[in-house]
């Protein structure tokens, strides 16, 4: 039980990042653009203490989170899987155990190159890069 609470607390810290600051004007993405950006790819979330946390958005609608992360994430090795989908120009996902299985949706904006910004429906925001 303590381990689960610790994992959820650490995940919250990993996924909640500092305020966005960028000279690049991010362009909001729409449904098909979001799908094109993430389907079949790894999305590397920037984490506040440095490093990245990878999420793999399979084309089947499954999403996997892995402890392959660099920085703090590689020591914690949290893993989970769930599902993802696009609705109303937002990327939505629901994990099996992370966040007690609660559904979250995100507005995604393209910053240029392989960089995106995300804003979760509860106000948390951050950046990520798209990999293969």
For residue 38, CA distances in Å to 13, 71, 96 come to 23, 23, 20
> What's phi and psi for 106, nearest 5 deg?
-135, 140
Tokens of residue 18, six digits: 């500092």
pLDDT of 76-112, one tens digit each? 557 899 999 999 999 999 999 988 999 999 999 999 9
Query: What's the rounded mean pLDDT across residues 69-74?
Result: 50
pLDDT above 80 (res 75): no
In angstroms and rounded to an integer, the radius of gyration of the C-alpha atoms of the chain is 14
pLDDT of 115-127, one tens digit each? 999 999 999 999 9
Using the structure block, give the residue that is written with the tokens 């299985």: 101
């Amino acid at each position: 039980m303590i381990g689960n609470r610790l994992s959820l607390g650490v995940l919250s810290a990993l996924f909640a990042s500092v305020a966005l600051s960028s000279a690049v004007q991010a362009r909001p993405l729409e449904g098909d653009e979001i799908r094109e950006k993430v389907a079949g790819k790894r999305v590397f979330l920037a984490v506040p203490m440095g490093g990245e946390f990878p999420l793999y958005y399979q084309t089947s609608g499954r999403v996997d989170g892995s402890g392959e992360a660099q920085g703090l994430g590689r020591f914690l090795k949290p893993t989970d899987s769930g599902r993802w989908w696009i609705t109303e120009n937002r990327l939505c996902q629901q994990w099996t155990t992370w966040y007690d299985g609660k559904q979250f949706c995100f507005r995604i904006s393209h910053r240029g190159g392989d960089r995106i910004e995300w804003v979760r429906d509860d106000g948390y925001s951050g950046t990520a890069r798209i990999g293969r």
